[in-house]
Structure 1
Amino acid sequence: MTSTVILAGCGNMGYAMLSGWLKSGRLAPGDAWVVEPNEALRQRAADLGSHAVAESAALPSGLSPTLVMFAVKPQVMREVVAGYKAFADGRTTFLSIAAGTPIATFEEILGAVPVIRCMPNTPAAIGKGMMVTVANRLVTEAARDFVGGLLSASGEVAAVDDEALMDAVTAVSGSGPAYVFHFIEALTAAGEKAGLPLDTARLLAMQTVHGAASLAAESRQEPGMLRQQVTSPNGTTAAALAVLMGDDRLKNLVVEAVEAARLRSIELGK
């Protein structure tokens, strides 16, 4: 049994997710319909083999999609969603990857329909993302499984039961890549200050973060145990960690940063 998916918006994130669906075989190109007003973005979606139209009104009248995914900016979400009322008959599940737009907004526009809200992050563009979902009570287990399968083409998938937790999700994994990028910048600058050429310092910083994250993900040991294994008593690592961990300096800073992001997410959702 085939499943038809409509993707409303095919910017960088939408395109990355569409590419993942098709390359992984989770969705056949002919079962994907992309609605994108920008001609260049619409063409690159068509180049993947999917159907592509400029507006929702151009979709075939007899289309009965399993899923409609909204990948547009929050500022235009209400206007875009209104164009899909024809599918609000309970048979179609609606998925949003827009930050800060609550499930209630979609229910207000579309009525009592199955809605899933997802917070992805930018590594989804290379299949290494973190996608966290929350669903309303009308979403069936079959729909959850179908959406989870599609999202898994872009990385890891997790779910929360309380939508209020999506602000914390946004603060940790949604904004989190920027924290890591900044750490790479900081480690690069530190290496350069210690005498390394800039290119060498940058390579060391990026590969060290990449390697350490990969080891943490693939190891069965807790990150704290991995840290201890690297840290010889009175060695170089211990000297550095005394600075980072003294008085919980780094931990407190990260907690403060995540809380600032969480509070801002709450403000944007009002």
Structure 2
Amino acid sequence: MKFHFMKYRKLSYWVSGILVALSIVSLLTHGLNYGIDFAGGISMEVKPIEANYTIDKMRSDLSTFSPELQSVDNDSILIRVGLPKGATDAQQNTRVAEIKQILGDKVQYSQVQIVGPKIGGELVRGGILAILVSFVLMSVYIWIRYRGGYAVGSFVSLVLDFVLMFGFFSVTGLEFNQTSIAVILMGIGYSINDKVVNYDRIDENIKKYHKMPMTELIDLSVNEMLHRTVMTSVSTILAMVGLYFWGGVMLQEFAIAMTFSVVMGTLTSIYISNVILYHFNLRETKY
């Protein structure tokens, strides 16, 4: 079965433009839902004294503070609680005291840390720097690997991937933390790899079919690699489904974001990076 992807190239431009506009508007109006890593908060590592004091009971007891709880080594539990914006030292200490009062003597405290706004700001700058550096390195790789239409198509879809990933976090309100940056970078890396595979096949077919119209040639190349693309995407998504249902609460948002990045990378590889090639004379492109 052959799919005619190029038939809908104009529609792909409109859909992409609308999604980019929504992402930018959401980022400007709602921003990102920064997690404790970036916004600051309280981090506690505790160990329940009694075995029947489970992580679910602890989450219920601390529900007033909307905590993030995660099981760690040696039966310990990591508790993370956010703080109001601009919280003073006194407010931070008061919140710690309130949490300890609720937990009482049901736990032992291994570690208590307060991530202040200054440290959170440093982490934000570090995360932005990591994304910018990766963007520059990927752009350099694209330029070295390709020329002409290939380079333009890869670069445009790379920018689109970044914008849509940030827009996704803004629109959905998922917590944006250091894990989110890892998701973005992994998703972009996956997307770039998919584009390279498709481009290599297109270049092979250009050398093989000298007179085939470009729309047909691109469709042929994408269809030839479609099985590989779909199987890779589905296998990754199935792993994320497993993480969502059985990986615990802390991994659910990771699974959701990673699933979106895989789907997005697959679609931009087919409908953006490849479609842009239509506007270039690839038979004269040398790289």
Same fold (TM over 0.5): no
Q: Bigger relative contact order, structure 1 or 2, given CA contacts below 8 A and separation 6+?
A: 2
Normalising to structure 2: TM-score of the pair? Answer: 0.25
Normalising to structure 1: TM-score of the pair? Answer: 0.26
Higher radius of gyration, 1 or 2:
2
Higher helix share: 2
